[in-house]
Amino acid sequence: MLELRTDSVNFYRSEYCDDLNRRIVELCRSGDRVRLRDYIRRQDDAHPELYADERIENRPGMQLVKELVDALPGPVSVIDVACGSAELLKALQRSGHRVTGVDASPVRVARHRREITDLHEGFAEELPLAPATADVAIALECLEHVMDLDRALREMARVLRPGGALLVTVPLGSAADGPNHVRHFTVESLRQAVEHRGFHVLLACTIPYLHGEPDNNVFLAAVKLVDERTPLVLSHALNYKLLKLITPDLMTVSGIELTNLCNLRCRQCPTPFTRAATGYADDRTVAQALDYAAPGQLFSYHRLGEPLLHPQLLRYVQWAADRGVHPLISTNGVLLTEEIFLKLLDAGLRNLQITLHTTASTKAYGLVARHLLAHPEVQDRLTFVGNVLSHYDKVPEWLDACGITAEERRWLRYVQTHNWAGNVPGRRVAFPDDVVERRVRNCYFITGNRASIRWDGTVVACCFDSENENVIGRLEDFATLRHRPADYRLCRYCDANWANGDTA
Ligand SMILES: C[S@@+](CC[C@H](N)C(=O)[O-])C[C@H]1O[C@@H](n2cnc3c(N)ncnc32)[C@H](O)[C@@H]1O
Ligand code: SF4
Ligand code: SF4
């Protein structure tokens, strides 16, 4: 017998739609599983057909859940609680996910077990799964039926791995009522019940139950965050997908400059001469920038300045890696020791670029190259590049002096020097309109809807903007910001470079 707990958020409706409804609520209140199972079995035997409202094409909520699960780095393991006709499970299985279903109706379970092998007869309040075995728990049109709401949520929290996702729909109040609904939800009461069980709610909102209907359903997405070591890969991917669905033209943050200060003064770079304020990014700014970083894509911790000067670099690399975002740094290598390199690797660095500005840079290149040759397996998770800029005629000399062998030179890349879109003092050229138009049209940042963040949270159009000429706004307002190329003064001077695919 299921007991009700005193710290529970269980509740039942106080008004019934008919006598049958009153009897079912009383049955649930009593926690009498045996009689409830009998009731559900009888009901499903009487209605063996697949209802139109169980079909995925008719249900915005089911489609949304399918789209969200497919957006997670996967395949993932999914449990659908009260899976009914297993329509969603079949679709998720076709996408390659590992699926498990549970439903209280033995008739439904028997009917779909041929297609879904891991299908169990059982109650949401007692899931037949080991703890921490699922990445995603789904409960669509389920919680309005269960005997004990709090216990069902506790069970979903139990079977989810730390960092796992919970996706729920329920009818909104009595908007789509039925005699089997033992409780009515508002957006807030669903949110509270879920939060009470320790979930972090990413989104709770109203949606239509069937296409063409008014908003008579509640959708909720939450994640199970346990402690600061909880893996955030699923939660970041889920949050990012939700943000993109809510705001389809939302920009992506391609990277953040950790500082615009540098320990070198290169003549081809605007960093030593910038008139913009100088400083270091703080935790809040980096965390906010990461919220808008695309999962599974490179995220640059370098714009202007030297990232190894930032005392929190290792932590920030780890933050990105924990979220499933691939951290990149480009450094002059002067401060890169073997110990720091190994710590960066350990923190999850995915792309390292060392520009050979000095002999110290060349030595740093050499230590990384030697490590990669001695540990070829590291090459699978770290892309390494040694940049040789076209005007550095001393590089061959440095390579020889630093004893870099022919084999160790395989990661060198020879790069045409550019002028940071005209931000290098004395190298600003105003291009004719047709060239500017071509460069803007092909711009990596504008066409890819990417933005770059300065250390102080200023959002700028691209990573060349040392003087804040293409400012779009502030990071706090990121969701509302859009590219406005017509206002970008810097584009008039943008030189041919990798950012616009222009080699002219
Ligand atoms: C409205 S259907 C939802 C089916 C499916 N999730 C969907 O959205 O189409 C409700 C399902 O909940 C099941 N059910 C009712 N009470 C349950 C409980 N306590 N535990 C598990 N399943 C339950 C019923 O058998 C039924 O299949
Ligand atoms: S090119 Fe790099 S190393 Fe040189 S001053 Fe600029 S940021 Fe510093
Ligand atoms: S200045 Fe920046 S935004 Fe403008 S075209 Fe060049 S890279 Fe793109």
Q: Summarize pLDDT for 62-97 with one digit per residue, the tens.
A: 999 999 999 999 899 999 999 999 999 999 999 999
User: Is 259 or 31 the better-scoring residue by pLDDT?
Assistant: 259
Residues 242 and 363 in one domain: no
Q: In CATH, what number is assigned to the domain containing residue 115?
A: 3.40.50.150
* Beta bridge mates, 103: 121
Please check whether residues 322 and 456 belong to one and the same domain: yes
Q: Is residue 108 in contact with ligand 1, taking CB distance under 6 Å?
A: yes
Residue 160 lies in a domain: yes
71 and 211 share one domain: yes
Which among 299, 412, 434, 421 has a CA at the least distance from the CA of 361?
A: 412
**pLDDT (average), residues 153-180:** 95
Q: Measured from the CA of 263, which atom of ligand 2 is nearest?
A: 8
Task: Quote the pLDDT of residue 6.
Answer: 52
Taking residue 433's Cβ as centre, other Cβ atoms within 10 Å add up to: 8
Whether residues 48 and 81 fall in one domain = yes
Mean pLDDT, range 203-214, rounded to an integer? 97
Per-residue model confidence (pLDDT) at position 127: 96
- Stated pTM of the model: 0.93
For residue 374, tell me if it sits in a domain: yes
* CA dist., res. 127 & res. 339, Å (int): 47
Which pLDDT score, from 0 to 100, does residue 91 have? 97
Q: Evaluate: CB of 271 within 6 angstroms of ligand 2.
A: yes
Round to whole Å and give the CA distance between 86 and 379: 43
- pLDDT tens digits for 357-382? 999 999 999 999 999 999 999 999 99
Q: Is the CB of 147 under 6 A from ligand 1?
A: yes
Cα–chain-centroid distance for residue 398?
42
pLDDT of 1 strictly over 60: no
124 lines ligand 1 (CB under 6 A): yes
Q: Long-range contacts: 25-29, Cβ < 8 Å, 24+?
A: 25/182, 27/147, 28/146, 28/147, 28/148, 28/182
* Residue that has been written with the tokens 């697949």 in this structure: 50
219/258 same-domain check: no
In a domain, 84, yes or no: yes
- pLDDT per position as a tens digit, 132-151: 999 999 999 999 999 999 99
Q: List alpha helices for 348-427, DSSP H.
A: 359-374, 395-401
Q: Name the percent of the chain lying above pLDDT 70.
A: 98
CA atoms within 13 A on the CB side of 435: 15
* Domain annotation covers residue 209: yes
Residue 17 has pLDDT above 80, yes or no: yes
Ligand at minimal distance from the CA of 263 is: 2
Q: Is the CB–ligand 1 distance for residue 136 below 6 Å?
A: no
Does residue 35 sit in the same domain as residue 142?
Answer: yes
Q: pLDDT tens across 283-299, in order?
A: 999 999 999 999 999 99
Between 245 and 51, residue with greater pLDDT: 245
The C-alpha torsion from 176 through 181 and 184 to 190, rounded to 10°, is -100
How much is the CA Rg of the chain, to the nearest whole Å? 28
Cα gap 422→491, rounded to integer Å: 9
119-121, strands of its sheet edge to edge: 119-121, 98-103, 77-81, 134-140, 160-171, 217-224, 199-207
Q: Are 163 and 306 contained in the same domain?
A: no
Q: Is residue 7 part of a domain?
A: no
**Rounded Cα distance, 184 and 177, in Å:** 9
CA–CA distance, 316 with 153 (Å, rounded to integer): 33
User: pLDDT at position 264, please?
Assistant: 96
Task: Work out whether the CA dihedral 472, 474, 475, 478 comes out positive or negative.
Answer: negative
Residue 288 lies in a domain: yes
Lowest-pLDDT range of 46-60, 191-205, 311-325: 46-60
Confidence class of residue 2 from pLDDT cuts 50, 70 and 90?
very low
Mean pLDDT score across all residues of the chain: 94
Q: Does the CB atom of residue 101 touch ligand 2 within 6 A?
A: no
Confidence of residue 48 (pLDDT cuts 50, 70, 90): low
- Helical packing angle, 313-322 and 338-347, nearest 10°: 30
Angle between helices 60-70 and 87-94 (to 10 degrees): 30
In angstroms, what CA-CA distances link 21 with 17, 88, 173, 175, 185?
6, 27, 15, 16, 16
* 214 lies in the same domain as 307: no
In the reported structure, the alpha carbon of residue 59 is separated from the centroid of ligand 1 by a whole-number distance in angstroms of 15
Residue 88: the pLDDT is 97
Q: Which of 215, 246, 277 is the last residue of a domain?
A: 246
Query: What distance in Å separates the CA atoms of residue 471 and residue 483, rounded to the nearest whole number?
Result: 9
Q: At what angle do helices 60-70 and 233-246 cross, to 10 degrees?
A: 130
Same domain for 293 and 192, yes or no, is no
At 33 the pLDDT is 85
Question: What pLDDT does residue 422 have?
Answer: 87
Predicted local confidence at residue 74, as pLDDT = 83
Share of the chain above pLDDT 90, in %: 83
Chain position carrying tokens 């989104």: 203
Same domain, 67 and 83: yes
> Of all protein residues, whose CA lies closest to atom 6 belonging to ligand 2?
269
CA distance 71 to 80: 17
Cα 221 to Cα 138, 165, 206, 224, distances in angstroms: 10, 7, 12, 11
Question: In whole angstroms, what is the distance from residue 393 CA to residue 389 CA?
Answer: 9
Interval 328-341 mean pLDDT = 98
Examine the fold and report which residue of 196, 217, 246 is the final residue of a domain before the chain moves on: 246
Dihedral over alpha carbons 481, 484, 487, 492 (to 10 degrees)? 130
Which of 246, 271, 297 is the last residue in one of the domains? Answer: 246
The pick from 254, 427, 429, 462 for probing ligand 3's pocket by mutation, whose C-beta has the most ligand atoms within 8 angstroms, reads 462
- Which positions ≥6 away from 267 have C-beta within 8 Å? 424
Looking at residue 492, the DSSP 8-state letter turns out to be: G
Q: Average of pLDDT values for 97-123?
A: 93
Domain co-membership, 301 together with 211: no
Identify whether residues 300 and 160 lie together within a single domain.
no
For 155-196, list the strands marked E by DSSP: 160-171
Question: Rounded to an integer, what distance in angstroms lies between the CA atom of residue 258 and that of residue 336?
Answer: 16
Domain count, the chain: 2
Closest C-alpha to ligand 3, atom 8: 443
| Residue 4 confidence (pLDDT) above 70 | no
Average pLDDT, integer, range 308-326: 98
pLDDT of residue 392: 87
Question: Count of CB atoms within 10 A of residue 471's CB?
Answer: 18
- Counting atoms of ligand 2 from 1, which one is nearest the CA of 262? 8
Asked if residue 258 has its Cβ within 6 Å of ligand 2, the reply is no
- What pLDDT score was predicted for residue 5? 52
| Ligand 1 pocket, residue 169 CB under 6 Å | no
Write down the pLDDT at residue 412. 98
Measure Cα distances from 496 to 139, 178, 504 in Å: 53, 65, 6
Q: Where residue 486 falls among pLDDT bands split at 50, 70, 90?
A: very high
Ligand 3 mean position, distance from CA 157 (Å): 47
Residue 301 in any domain: the answer is yes
C-alpha–C-alpha distance, residues 175 and 25, integer Å: 18
Task: Return the pLDDT at 452.
Answer: 97
CATH number reported for the structural domain that contains residue 471 in this entry: 3.20.20.70
- Evaluate whether residue 498 is within a structural domain: no
Task: Judge if the beta carbon of residue 54 lies within 6 A of ligand 1.
Answer: yes
Tell me whether residue 125 is exposed, middle or buried, using C-beta atoms within 10 angstroms of its C-beta: 0 to 12, 13 to 18, 19 or more: buried
pLDDT computed for residue 76 by the predictor: 98
Structural domain boundaries, residue 219: 19-246
Say what the pLDDT of residue 7 is. 59
